[in-house]
Structure 1
Amino acid sequence: MTDSTALSILRDEITVYPGPTGSKGHPSWVLHDPAPNQFFRLDWPTYEILCRWDYRSPELIVDAVNRETTLEITLEDVESVAVFLNTHCLVKRLDFADAMELARRKQASKKAWWLDLMHRYLFFRVPLINPDRFLERWLFIGIFLFSRGFTLTTGIVLLFSLIKVGQQWEVFQSTLLDTFSVKGFMTYAFALVSVKVFHEFGHGFMAKRYGCRVPVMGVAFLVMFPMPYTDTNEVWKISDRRKRLAVSTAGLRLELLVAVWATLLWVILPDGAIRSAVFFLASVSWVLSVLLNISPFMRFDGYFVLMDWLDYPNLHARSSALARWRIRRLLFGLDEPPPETLSLGFQRFLVVFAILTWTYRFILFIGIAILVYFKFTKVLGLLLFVVEIYWFILAPVIKEAKLWWERRAEIWAQLRTRATIMVTLGFLLVFVVPLPKPVTSEALMRPVRSTQLVVPEAARVKALAVSDGAEVVAGSQLVELVSPMLLLNQQMAAMRAETATRRHQAASLDKERAGSPRLANDQRESRLAELERANREVTKLSHIAPYHGTFRLNNPDIAEGEWLAKDTVVGTLVDADSGMEVLTWIDESAIDRVSIGAKATFFSQSYGDVISGRVVEIGSDAINSLSFPAMASVFGGDILAREKAGELIPERATYRVVVELDGTGRNRVTSVHYGRLKIGARPASLAGQYLRIVVLSLIRELNP
């Protein structure tokens, strides 16, 4: 900047307000641009420079500031202020060159149509109303709701309501469970909208109370998810930090007021529509206030409260810049100054906060992307999934990587860079090199041949021919049951068969009086088949050993004369000499690494033994359902499965694997035992495994 440089003139509508005092006692000011309704925090040197901006000469401004204040500024300080004013269009454009500069900026700010479409899909705002006059007219309501007396009364009501809810806790729980229906969720949606309206008017009333204009209320859409918003930018005019905090917390406070008073109404009202309505209001308000609004990692109330409490504007952007600086210093040892001068303790806090914010947003945006994928058709859902992953997660990483590339010469000159590269290559080596890794899964050990004795119909134990654990030979009587229902069915079937047989005989002798012989014969055959089925059911009551083995009762305390329900398993006949096998189920991500003949080791939970074996069978097709419930995740097992129509359906393609165990003696078992199975598998890299999971998922999802 030279002596002849004439500074541009500030726009007439630009105003400057006193700002809050900094944590170290430094004064600050706030510059307001009313056109976009933007606010900028100014430090002391910048304010003094702007106060003398009409001098139009950098040298005169520097001389005046240094002479009239205790500050010592330079021409570079004035130049940085000029750049700031021009960048944010805070100066007048008086000549053709200025107009061309504005046109150039406008053209540069234009995005490609697809980029603009992507941005509008990810986030856009819809202004709905200008609530300023309404808030002015009804401000007395807001003043009353936030008054000290009403707040104290609400606290007393809260204690009373919590005590009464505790006394009716079972009723509260049952009411909550009853709301888990389509109608209940629709009512929750209506209650959510109502509570969010209260929330936004809370911000509006409090901002109006302190003299701020509230020009807009509307709905913002984050990945098509609606979130109401209120424009309270003018709170930056307020120099008192406590008042700004009051505006930031006003929505949360009003939600809590709704929750407390709705809870009180639920406690005192009789059953009916009104009580149900206030229950929805209370539950939604409590959940939103506690779980959503207090989070400082997104731009919800918790973020603005923390920002005002710390008196640190643009907390997310500035903490992220500081964290990126710290990462560059850690990885490459770059000796560059931090983005801003802060105390060491506050620096560490901001870096940790930025990392927590990145982690929270990563998990949140991954979840949103998956939700969007399943919400739309497969092709469109996959496209939108990729868009969100790129915009929210990959784009910031790519931006930082570009900065590293631009500074590659400086980065490569640092010794720390070489150490970082070596460590990174070591991790990549572990990631891509195939390593020996066994396939481990939950498994069960059982005899190769076993038979369960199941009660076909409710029956009484007539005789227990053998005791629990007894050795039996083929043809031995095991258990004899008596079922009055099956015996009655047998008798009725016998009577109907006898009647049908007589009618058939009569029809053969006298066709005119007894009817058609063919029809009579069909009826006789039907009744005889019915009798045969009844006889088979009765025969099932007498259990005979089909082979030599060991008989084990499921309930050793069972006694003669005891009644058993239908489908009760009385016991199991086990042929221990047939050998043992282990069954396990392996999902598609690892099944290709398992082969016939592979060595396996079973770790029994019951015996504590370690038994070796080998793989003898691998299912060629994925199973349709899981026949052992203990293996399913819904019952504490490892296999992710869901219940559908009484069956357990695996969520991923899962294959049955059979292992034949070695040895006898202690390895003889007469029941099912659970444990863990380790199978020696082909080496595989972590990268290959993850790539296989991704490819299989894409194939599964894209196939109709």
Structure 2
Amino acid sequence: MADAQSTFSESWYRIAGQRISLRPSVRVRRQNFRGDRWIVLEDPFNNAFFRLRPAAYELVARLRPDRTVHEAWKECLDRFPDEAPGQEAVIQLLAQLYFANLLQYNLAGDTAQLFERFKKRRQRELSSRFLNIMFMRFPLLDPDRFLVRTLPVVGKLIGRFGALLWLVVVGAAIKVAIDHWPTLRSQSENVLSPGNLPLLYASLVIIKTLHEFGHAYFCRKFGGEVHAMGVMLMIFTPVPYMDATSAWSFRSRAQRMLVGAAGMIVELFFAAIATFIWARTGEGVVHSLAYNAMIVASVSTLVFNLNPLLRFDGYYMLSDLLEIPNLSQRANQQLGFLAERGLFGVRRFESPARTREETAWLTTFGITSGIYRVIVFAGVLLVVADKFLIIGLIMAAVCLISWVTVPVWKLIKYLATSPRLDRVRLRAVAVSVGLVLVLVSFLQFVPFPNHFRAPGILRAGQRCEVINQTAGTVEVLLAKQGEHVRAGQPLMRLSNRELEVQIAHTLARSQELEARVLKATKDDIASLKPLQSQVEAAVQQLAKFRADEAALTIRARQDGIWVAPGIDTFVGRWVTRGNQLGLLIDPTAFEFTATVQQEDVDALFARKMPGAEVRLTGQASTIVGVHDWQVIPAEQRMLPSSALGWLGGGDVAIAPDDPHGRRAAEPFFEVRAKLDSKTGVALLDGRSGKIRFDLEPEPLLPRWTRRLWQLLQKRYQL
């Protein structure tokens, strides 16, 4: 039997003489979790559920209006001395059953004080609905009768035949999507365009309605009931919902998981049908509606419903898979237990986890889900505020209240009044205040390494473009791609038959004019001057043609590496005048041209940096040193290379109206860094990479505050 400290309670007198029993409407079901037997209490009238151990149920089953709580507990203790719950556990159990509205009771005033924190259940539900502003629910009607009438027809699809049909249809749709992938991908660029938003929302409502009916029919098929259907404001977007929580009482884990997956199963089935419609229709409303249905079903399934860190379908499936009911609630309880035990020194209570494996799952889920939920909601806030600033500010205020104000108030109230801390309250307060002070001081005063990265392109310090000054046909290549050449060395030779004819004609014309000048000096002095002018013009024209002829031999203007990708394909091709044939690059000096965003450029202008380094794409493990750098003090829009933009596979956002991928969506500053001559990488003009600027160490809190303010200024011009 448990020791006296856990068996008896100082508060037992408040509840011992009361006559309490379960409500007559409560149903009792047995379930197995991780090899252990559990009892599930269900009240279908208020849709309440409660899970308890068989030993605890032995006590609850003995509660009757004609006997007191103490009599029931004493009988249970006599029959099961090693398993019967202690008085403190009984008080907690009855309080929880009271909160779940599963008890029929006639409580005295003193006992009512014991449960006073549970009397405001409705107010808490309303306040939590307000605080959960992104997913507010409004029940409207009871769909159970409709489900019962239509189940004989729909239920035939819930079985082996339906599973086989689903596999065939979805498999064929995947094949169609793969065959039409280029078109499918290109059309996705217009999903969020203003003209498509009505069709997108219509598809969302249709798909979500089918999704919820999937949950409802599967639940009804396995014996559950669905008594609530309504509208949920998902980020202020009305979508339907159904309450299929009666599936929690199913004895079969497979049935519970199927109910959880039913919405996604139905979504993917109708997405597959929409794929066939999209592939076989031309431009129009039906075609667009089918495409939007595909997008909604796939994105909602993969990003939201399957994700167990959000409390959607994936969460309940994971809970059943791990056989840990109330996974989120118990994870929070586990974190609270660890804090109480490890920080406050509370030893009187047991962990919500029964095994080490369960402890690991609950702790991991509690931490990761909390962090992920904050990240997701923060992203949603930014997206909403981009479109509707006032609504975004309201949502931010509500989130601030629910994530900061309310938890802080609950912590203060818990530290001040919780009976669990009666013996360690001073330590709990001291540890809590100390942790806050240490955390704030740590974030505010302890400097951390500080750096940022910027994408860029490698450029030779001296480079010149090789451009033909005369049009012609490429006859022969005199230098190979990648060859080191000297200034004046021929690179290729062109030919131009028209130029040859012009030279011959001009030469003959010049000789003719010279003969006429010679004759005029003897016979016609008056015509001598005009003829001399014509001769001079002919000589100048011939000189120009001769220069053009000489330019047909393309020569290097400087020493360097001859870079001309694809030059072999130029042989026999006509190239117009002014065409860039290649580059001459000096391999002895390179500089890295980087694009730095506005929020990072302040530190560069202040030059408060110990150093910088470059890592090139393809050889990122090797560091290239930087011995000097310069900021071009003017905002720019045109990227040094299209390889830095999204169209070229880079990280910089490109203006939507720029088909060439050179104009950035936002202004940036250009930084030119000179690289060390001795490196372990191949320095080639045009290679992309990233430069890392090491800044002076800075505490995290000022850095985060500055980043947040820069974000607000950038997005909302505050």
Q: TM-score, normalised on structure 1?
A: 0.69
Q: Partner of 1:122 in structure 2?
A: 134
Q: Please state if 1:172 is matched with 2:180.
A: yes
- Higher mean alpha-carbon deviation, 59-68 vs 398-407, is at 398-407
Q: Partner of 2:710 in structure 1?
A: 696
Q: Partner of 2:7 in structure 1?
A: none
Matching residue's letter, 2:380: I
CA apart distance, 1:20: 1.3
- Which SS does the other structure have where 1:549 is aligned? coil
CA apart distance, 1:8: 5.7
Report if aligned partners of 1:599, 1:613 keep a CA contact under 8 Å in 2.
Answer: no
What count of residue pairs does the alignment treat as equivalent? 638
Matched residues, percent identical? 21
User: Superposition pairs for residues 524-543 of structure 1, below 5 Å?
Assistant: none
CA apart distance, 1:680: 7.1
User: Superposition pairs for residues 302-341 of structure 1, below 5 Å?
Assistant: 302-308=314-320, 312-326=324-338, 329=341, 335=347, 337-340=349-352
Q: Please state if 1:635 is matched with 2:648.
A: yes
CA apart distance, 1:347: 2.5
- Which SS does the other structure have where 1:138 is aligned? helix
Q: 1:702 to 1:295 in 2, by over 3 A?
A: closer
Decide which of 625, 635, 644 is 1:622's aligned counterpart: 635
User: Superposition pairs for residues 29-48 of structure 1, below 5 Å?
Assistant: 29-32=40-43, 34=45, 36-44=46-54, 45-46=56-57, 48=59
Report if aligned partners of 2:468, 2:551 keep a CA contact under 8 Å in 1.
Answer: no
Report if aligned partners of 1:203, 1:250 keep a CA contact under 8 Å in 2.
Answer: yes
Q: Please state if 1:162 is matched with 2:171.
A: yes
Show CA shifts across 1:142-172 (max 9, x none).
3211144x236426xx358736964x56533
Q: Partner of 1:585 in structure 2?
A: 595
Distance 2:276 2:293 in 1: 11
Decide which of 178, 196, 202 is 2:214's aligned counterpart: 202
CA apart distance, 1:317: 0.4
Show CA shifts across 1:640-692 (max 9, x none).
5555434644466532234567999x9xx996676665667555445444333
Report if aligned partners of 2:170, 2:268 keep a CA contact under 8 Å in 1.
Answer: no
Show CA shifts across 1:30-63 (max 9, x none).
14272x4323335443454454331253343334
Report if aligned partners of 2:334, 2:353 keep a CA contact under 8 Å in 1.
Answer: no
Decide which of 527, 545, 562 is 2:573's aligned counterpart: 562
Q: Where do 5+ consecutive residues of structure 1 fail to align?
A: 489-534
- Higher mean alpha-carbon deviation, 92-101 vs 19-28, is at 92-101
- Which SS does the other structure have where 2:308 is aligned? coil
Distance 2:412 2:446 in 1: 26
CA apart distance, 1:193: 3.1
Distance 1:642 1:224 in 2: 30
Q: Please state if 1:376 is matched with 2:373.
A: no
Distance 2:550 2:704 in 1: 54
Matching residue's letter, 1:39: F
Report if aligned partners of 2:596, 2:668 keep a CA contact under 8 Å in 1.
Answer: yes
CA apart distance, 1:286: 5.7
CA apart distance, 1:140: 0.6
Q: 1:304 to 1:453 in 2, by over 3 A?
A: same
Task: Calculate the aligned-residue CA RMSD, in Å.
Answer: 5.7
Distance 1:151 1:641 in 2: 47
Q: Please state if 1:549 is matched with 2:549.
A: no
Distance 1:178 1:548 in 2: 45
Q: 1:138 to 1:403 in 2, by over 3 A?
A: same
User: Superposition pairs for residues 128-277 of structure 1, below 5 Å?
Assistant: 128-148=140-160, 150-151=161-162, 153-154=164-165, 158-159=167-168, 162=171, 166=175, 171-174=179-182, 176-177=184-185, 179-180=187-188, 181=190, 187=199, 189-235=201-247, 238-239=250-251, 243-255=255-267, 257-258=269-270
Q: 1:405 to 1:444 in 2, by over 3 A?
A: farther
CA apart distance, 1:218: 1.6
Q: Partner of 1:343 in structure 2?
A: 355
Q: Please state if 1:58 is matched with 2:69.
A: yes
- Higher mean alpha-carbon deviation, 432-441 vs 217-226, is at 432-441
Q: Partner of 1:657 in structure 2?
A: 671
- Which SS does the other structure have where 2:350 is aligned? coil
Report if aligned partners of 2:177, 2:184 keep a CA contact under 8 Å in 1.
Answer: no
Matching residue's letter, 2:208: K
Show CA shifts across 1:556-600 (max 9, x none).
5476753237874224467999x8755433334443333579886
Q: 1:643 to 1:689 in 2, by over 3 A?
A: farther
Q: Where do 5+ consecutive residues of structure 2 fail to align?
A: 1-11, 503-543
Report if aligned partners of 1:85, 1:91 keep a CA contact under 8 Å in 2.
Answer: no
Distance 2:41 2:497 in 1: 91
Distance 1:137 1:360 in 2: 41
Report if aligned partners of 2:478, 2:493 keep a CA contact under 8 Å in 1.
Answer: yes
- Higher mean alpha-carbon deviation, 362-371 vs 433-442, is at 433-442
Q: TM-score, normalised on structure 2?
A: 0.68
Q: 1:275 to 1:333 in 2, by over 3 A?
A: same
